[in-house]
Amino acid sequence: MSKLGRVSVAALLAFVAAGLLAYFGLLPLALLVRHSFQGAEPFASYALVASRSANWTALRGTLTIATGAAAIAFLLGVPLGWLVAATDLPMARVWRSLLALPYVIPAYIGAVGWTYLLSGKAGWLDRLWTEGLGLPALPFSIYSLGGIVFVEGAFFSPFVLMAVAEAVERIDPALEEAARVSGAGPVRVWLEVTWPLVRRAALGGVLMAFLGTCASYGVPAVLGPSARPSVSVLTTRIKGYIDLHTTGGFRQATALSAVLLLAALVFPLAERAGGGDARAAGARPSARRPASLGRWRAPALAMVAGVFGVTTLAPIMALGISSLMGNVGRGFRLENLSLVHYWVVLGRPDALLALKNSVLAAAAAATLAVVIGTALALVAARGGGRFGAVLAALPWLPYAAPGTVLAIGIILAFTGAWGLNLYGTLWMLLVAYTAKYLALACRMAAAGIEQVHPSMEEAARVSGASRLRAVGEVLVPMIRGHLAAAWFLVFMPSFGELTMSVLLFGPDTPTLGTTLFELQSYEDPSAASVLAVLIVAVILLSNFLVRRLSGGRYGI
């Protein structure tokens, strides 16, 4: 066989994968930036955007909320992360998983849950307060700036919690013991040895929480418009511009998006600090002896349970109860328990269509991401040289880009101008989910490949297997656990995705996220809660499978 033939076969895989990545993941972002500079003069859109005070309000809103949420994530994540990883807290492993749960559940679902509890006057907690206890109305509602900050902070706190827990586990216990032997008390050891060693990871987690909140659309979209005064952020503002359906509106949306895209530049910093995306950061069982909490054990347990109850359990329970309440007006009674909303939802063609679309798009995206991600990881790991390393780093760009921004780039790229017109089709969502979450699959595949010595494939080659066959019959079976986990890691966030879907869905392609959003804001909160319960259930099941498939090393 000629050298040329061999090289092209070997390069084909890399070439196709790199091409798909460039076309579907990178082109949209490039087009977005370019488009923001088009118009009468290069900075016309920016000037227009800057001249509107509403945009400055939105920017202020984004920064305020992100700062507040990052602070909450820090205050919850650091102590809790340490408690679950380093102390003799009862059932620390279980608490660790429970407290990290918001990591896999979309934050907007938490926001929807809270709307049943604290809506100003009609929420269940409000009524318990006024009717049950006869007190004057509560002075706060979830529909407020504070409410948004609280929900975002609660749902991004796992970033800090997991980063701290993993950093604590990596500390050699001898370091702390040496300080104790040197005469430092436990508090002093914590402040002068433990904290300096976890600080980097904790701050990385805080930065992730900040960036995540900046990019978040669902929570401010659910809670912001009804707040008094109403709260607006960059992502909702961008959606507003898109909804104008005018060329000028679109151009201003791209200018605002380009501003938001700046956040992606900070992302590698947060990632490197070890805050990381702990979803794939393997957590080993640690060899350290848990620190004894002594008489603080009970209060610590109460605090952990309390935080879990308030941040996670309450909104999820609210959704569950709401979905099971036959008649909302009749309140909490056993005879009011009913599956009627489930039957109603199952009978609604729009809900069924949404379910079908979400399952299809998420499953297809997961499959595609695993295939492309494995190919990229393979090129990077097996002799791609510097080119391979760059190739494996590129999927992080669309991952770091806020979903709103990526979605607008995708609109620019795939509505006909660049070879494909996918507008209003499920393909649009498939492209978005794959581009966004490819990095997760790629990293998971890379972790698997790293564990396989190249001689495993070489032995197959010498035995008579072609390159593709060696990959297919030796490498892939050896990393199938990783690949299955990678599949679910993409499926999970895609299944309940909202941010990109609201910008990309068409009349025939509603998803669970978009349908839930519409039902809850305009029509039928009970049906919305049924969909939310469905999303949570599927995500929890997927997470369980990831844990099983990876032997407990990945997943929550």
Partner 1 sequence: MSSLELRSLNRAYGPQLVVEGFEQRIASGEFVSFLGPSGCGKTTTLRMVAGLDEPTAGEISIGKRVVSAPARGVFVPPEERRLGMVFQTYALWPHMTVGENVAYPLKLRGMGRSERDARASRMLELVHLGGLDLRHPHQLSGGQQQRVALARALVMEPEVLLLDEPLSNLDAQLREELRFEIKDLQRRLGVTVVFVTHDQSEAMAMSDRIVVMKQGRIRQAGPPREIYARPADLFVACFLGAANVLEGVVESSEAGRCRVRLQALPGAPVLACRGEPPAGRTADVVLRPEGLRPAPSGALAGRVERVTFLGDRVDCRVACGPAMLRVSLPASGAPSEGAAIALEATDALAFGR
Q: Does 462 bind partner 1 (CB under 8 A)?
A: yes
Q: How far is the CB of 1 from partner 1 (least distance, A)?
A: 6
Buried b (16+ CB within 10 A) or exposed e, 303-325: ebeebbeebbbbbbebbbbbbbb
Q: Does 92 bind partner 1 (CB under 8 A)?
A: no
Residue closer to partner 1, measured from CB, 348 or 469: 469
Residue closer to partner 1, measured from CB, 5 or 347: 5
CB atoms closer than 10 angstroms to residue 125: 17
R_g (Cα) of the chain, nearest Å: 25
Q: Does 464 bind partner 1 (CB under 8 A)?
A: yes
Report how far Cα 470 is from the mean position of its chain's Cα atoms. Answer: 35
Q: How far is the CB of 364 from partner 1 (least distance, A)?
A: 27
Q: Does 467 bind partner 1 (CB under 8 A)?
A: yes
**Cα–Cα distance, 234 to 61 (Å, whole number):** 8
Q: How far is the CB of 378 from partner 1 (least distance, A)?
A: 16
Q: Are 514 and 355 a contacting pair, CB within 8 Å?
A: no
Residues 6+ apart with CB under 8 A from 535: 105, 106, 109, 495, 496, 512, 513, 516
Q: List the one residue from 344, 363, 420, 465 that touches partner 1 (CB under 8 A).
A: 465
Near partner 1 in 414-453, by CB under 8 A: 453
Q: Does 382 bind partner 1 (CB under 8 A)?
A: no
Near partner 1 in 477-516, by CB under 8 A: 477-478
Q: List the one residue from 92, 461, 524, 545 that touches partner 1 (CB under 8 A).
A: 461
Tell me the sheet residues that pair with 291.
87
**Cα–Cα distance, 206 to 212 (Å, whole number):** 10
In eight-state DSSP terms, residue 466 is: -
Q: Does 1 bind partner 1 (CB under 8 A)?
A: yes
Q: How far is the CB of 462 from partner 1 (least distance, A)?
A: 4
Q: Does 6 bind partner 1 (CB under 8 A)?
A: yes
Q: Does 385 bind partner 1 (CB under 8 A)?
A: no
Q: Does 460 bind partner 1 (CB under 8 A)?
A: yes
Calculated CA dihedral for residues 124, 304, 96, 287, nearest 10 degrees: 180
Q: List the one residue from 305, 337, 459, 541 that touches partner 1 (CB under 8 A).
A: 459
Residue closer to partner 1, measured from CB, 167 or 460: 460
Q: Are 202 and 269 a contacting pair, CB within 8 Å?
A: no
Q: Are 148 and 219 a contacting pair, CB within 8 Å?
A: yes
Q: Does 463 bind partner 1 (CB under 8 A)?
A: yes
Residue closer to partner 1, measured from CB, 6 or 121: 6
Site residues (CB under 8 A) for partner 1?
1-4, 6, 453, 455-456, 458-467, 469, 473-474, 477-478
